[in-house]
Amino acid sequence: MMGVLAYGLMGMIGIYIVLSLIFTYLVQQYPRNPVTDIPDWGDVFDTRIPAVDGGSLEVWRIEPDGPSRGTVVLAHGWGRNRDRMVGRARVFGKMGFTTILHSARDHGNSSPRRFMNAVKFCEDIEAVLGWVGSPVILYGHSAGAGGSILAASRNSHRIQLLFLEGCYAYTKEALINLYRWFNQSFGTFFGPAIIFWMDVFYRSDINQTSPALIAPDITMPVLVIHGEKDQRFPVAYAHTLKNSFRPGQAEIYIAPGAGHSDSSQTPGYLPAIDGFMDRHSCLFSQVHQKEADS
């Protein structure tokens, strides 16, 4: 009898391990929910640039109708594509900025790349920064925000201002909450195992690239933007992240009633962007003037 129970228990453990491995693969592949939103302002240039692994990224470069005040690079979140950032880019385009939107690898029509994560998002942002070749304002949403803060820590000389929308503070905490948001039972039962296998697969502690741990190394001004009702990454994450930066370095805008992706549709979004840009306009105006004079 005891032998039967032992074999049964071993079988259940084996099934759990196999399922957790399968889910670890699936959560890094799905979902893919691209949207369609074509830029409707300025001069739009559609091109492709090399990615770090020999693939390529689809990129829009949108020049404003008049003289450009500088360049804003916008990075989308998990499962989306460059079109997802068009509404946000339009805000900066109307301010007179050149805006650059790319689809990360394995997203949109960029080249395939299995096992995308914040580090890979960062690599794609760095490919765009190298292609631009001059300092930029960097704006990331969700997973794109995680990649953006990592890119900013590695390329401080290239980033003038940093916008982090719908970001998280600690990677493992955020993933567990994300899986529970998807399904409470799934997140509770399989979440810890998925995190364990990610550590094994990447041969490192994935928490090492947590935005809250990177924040003290960031040198440029930061605006944290977060939806008050965000269920994927609760608003407490935004406050934790903001407080992880050096005193006085980061500002925060909590969008009333907004969820994970609609902070940009709230009435306070534009004033928050305008105010932050005005307070730090000297940083990008001086650089742009030097480029114009050269």
Residue 7 included in any domain: no
Domain count, the chain: 1
Distance in angstroms (rounded) separating the CA atoms of residues 140 and 143? 8
Residue 154 forms part of a structural domain: yes
Q: What is the pLDDT of residue 3?
A: 63
Residue 12: inside a domain: no
pLDDT digits (tens, 9 = 90+) for 268-277: 999 999 999 9
Give the angle 182-183-188 at the CA atoms, nearest 5°.
Answer: 115
When pLDDT is cut at 50, 70 and 90, the band that residue 50 belongs to is very high
State mean pLDDT over 108-130.
96
On whether residue 2 sits in a domain, the answer given is no
Q: In this model, does residue 264 exceed pLDDT 90?
A: yes
Task: Examine residue 14 and state whether it is found in any structural domain, yes or no.
Answer: no
Residues 178-188, buried b or exposed e (16+ Cβ, 10 A)? bbbeeeeeebe
pLDDT of the residue at 282: 86
pLDDT at 136 (0 to 100) = 97
Residue 50's CATH number: 3.40.50.1820
Instruction: Specify the pLDDT at position 185.
Output: 94
Residues 6+ apart with CB under 8 A from 54: none
Domain assignment present for residue 15? The answer is no
Residue 291 has pLDDT above 60, yes or no: no
Whether 269 is covered by a domain: the verdict is yes
Q: For residue 113, give both structure tokens.
A: 């790349």
Question: Residue 119 — very low, low, confident or very high, per pLDDT cuts 50/70/90?
Answer: very high
In a domain, 277, yes or no: yes
pLDDT at 1 over 90: no
Reported confidence tier of residue 10, pLDDT bands at 50, 70, 90: confident
3-state helix, strand, coil in the chain (%, to 5): 50, 15, 35
* Cα separation, 56 vs 116, whole angstroms: 15
Domain span at residue 113?
A: 20-293
